[in-house]
């Protein structure tokens, strides 16, 4: 563990760690202790209790004043709300997040602070992260599952990506999550805070808007462990598709970079096709045809391959509608 003298600690930037928590009684102790074990010494911890109905508030009270606890009415399942509440109360020069069921590796904060100090043009920096469940860790880290990013990063300890490169990568591969990112405070004076319009995808929406203005850092070391369990909101496939498409469509409306517009258009087209198949499999023919029609008329953009995929999806929906076995996809 790296040791810091009193003088060194005084001169270090303050880091705020924000934890949004909702009914997190099973995991909040482990999350907090992973912050207490950081090798970086100058940290303030802010937990926003988003209207929990379990013992989360009682547990948090036992950590005061070491942990600043803020309680608010539940934000209705929109995670941007507690994240923004934390931003409103933090004092740090650098700011990072940890979801209440995730865990920080001991050197995460130190790695990210050092990177931001060495790269003043970077507004947000991500470490790699490792998914795990009750049965153990997944075989690959997240960065290793992002082909475009991994092609650039595999032979480097870290990289600073310019805005054009970072935004294109983010569209193709959502390279981070709140539990693996750190931002500079000055970002908040330039980029609007988390959107409260999305139940899923508010983090990507925030990263992308930062990447339009600042360079983006990636550190090729695991800084966080992300818990995958039955309560993960992202298990609902249709909800995920809807919200991720909604966040990208919002960015699509204001994107001026021609190449990124093409990438966003392709993402939205595939989202509509996937929604069409998902609803068809649920025998919801009206919704399926609606997404087929949107894919064909809005996002195909005279691309013959996309027109073919749209028509194929429509045929599958029609086949299901008349109880005929559809061709495999």
**What per-residue confidence (pLDDT) applies to 322?**
65
| Alpha carbons 195 and 48: distance in angstroms, whole number | 17
Q: Which of 41, 36, 53, 49 is nearest to 89 (CA)?
A: 49
Q: Are 191 and 210 in contact (CB under 8 A)?
A: yes
**What per-residue confidence (pLDDT) applies to 296?**
77
User: β-strand 67-72 against 43-50: which pairing, if any?
Assistant: parallel
Beta strands in the chain (DSSP E): 15-21, 43-50, 67-72, 94-97, 103-104, 122-133, 136-137, 158-161, 181-184, 215-227
Tokens of 134: 């009750």
Residue ranges covered by each domain of the chain = 12-234, 236-321
SS3 197: coil
| Count helices and strands in the chain by DSSP H and E runs | 12, 10
List of long-range contacts for 117-121, beta carbons under 8 Å, 24+ apart: 117/13, 119/160, 119/215, 119/217, 121/160, 121/214, 121/215
| Alpha carbons 315 and 296: distance in angstroms, whole number | 13
| Alpha carbons 143 and 123: distance in angstroms, whole number | 19
| Per-residue pLDDT in tens (0 to 9) along the chain, 329 residues | 344 544 456 689 999 999 999 999 999 999 999 999 999 999 999 999 999 999 999 999 999 999 999 999 998 889 999 999 999 999 999 999 999 999 999 999 999 999 999 999 999 999 999 999 877 778 899 999 999 999 999 999 999 999 999 999 999 888 999 999 999 999 999 999 999 998 888 999 999 999 999 999 999 999 999 998 765 544 477 888 888 888 888 998 889 999 999 889 888 888 888 888 888 888 888 888 888 888 877 766 567 677 777 777 777 777 776 664 445 54
Which CATH number applies to 12-234: 3.40.50.300, 3.80.10.10, 3.20.20.140, 3.90.550.10?
A: 3.90.550.10
Residues in a beta bridge with 72: 50
User: β-strand 215-227 against 158-161: which pairing, if any?
Assistant: antiparallel
Peptide bond into 212 cis (omega under 30): no
pTM above 0.95, yes or no: no
Beta strands in 106-172 (DSSP E): 122-133, 136-137, 158-161
Q: Which of 101, 68, 63 is nearest to 86 (CA)?
A: 68
**What per-residue confidence (pLDDT) applies to 234?**
45
| Helix 163-172 and helix 258-281, axial crossing angle in degrees, nearest 10 | 10
**What per-residue confidence (pLDDT) applies to 327?**
53
């Amino acid at each position: 563990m790296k040791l810091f003298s009193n003088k060194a600690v005084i001169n270090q930037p303050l880091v705020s760690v924000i934890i949004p928590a909702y009914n997190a009684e099973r995991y909040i102790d482990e999350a907090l202790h992973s912050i207490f074990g950081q090798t970086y010494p100058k940290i303030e911890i802010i937990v926003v209790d988003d209207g929990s109905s379990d013992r989360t508030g009682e547990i948090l009270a036992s950590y005061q004043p070491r942990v600043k606890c803020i309680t608010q009415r539940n934000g209705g399942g929109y995670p941007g709300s507690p994240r923004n509440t934390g931003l409103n109360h933090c004092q740090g020069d650098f700011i990072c997040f940890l979801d209440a069921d995730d865990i920080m590796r001991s050197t995460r904060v130190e790695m990210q602070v050092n990177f931001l100090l060495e790269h003043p043009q970077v507004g947000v920096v991500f470490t790699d992260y490792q998914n795990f469940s009750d049965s153990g860790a997944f075989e690959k880290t997240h960065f290793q599952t992002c082909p475009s990013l991994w092609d650039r990063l595999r032979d480097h300890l870290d990289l600073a990506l310019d805005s054009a490169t970072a935004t294109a990568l983010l569209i193709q591969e959502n390279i981070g999550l709140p539990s693996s990112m750190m931002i500079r405070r000055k970002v908040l004076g330039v980029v609007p805070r988390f959107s409260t319009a999305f139940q899923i995808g508010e983090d990507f929406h925030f990263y992308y808007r930062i990447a339009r203005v600042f360079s983006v850092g990636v550190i090729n070391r695991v800084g966080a462990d992300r818990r995958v369990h039955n309560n993960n909101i992202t298990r609902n496939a249709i909800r995920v598709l809807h919200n991720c498409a909604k966040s990208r469509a919002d960015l699509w409306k204001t994107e001026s970079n021609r190449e990124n517009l093409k990438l966003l258009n392709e993402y939205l087209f595939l989202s509509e096709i996937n929604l069409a198949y998902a609803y068809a499999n649920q025998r919801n023919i009206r919704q399926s045809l609606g997404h087929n029609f949107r894919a064909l008329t809005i996002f195909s953009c005279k691309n013959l391959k996309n027109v073919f995929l749209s028509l194929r999806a429509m045929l599958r929906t029609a086949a299901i509608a008349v109880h005929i076995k559809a061709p495999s996809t």
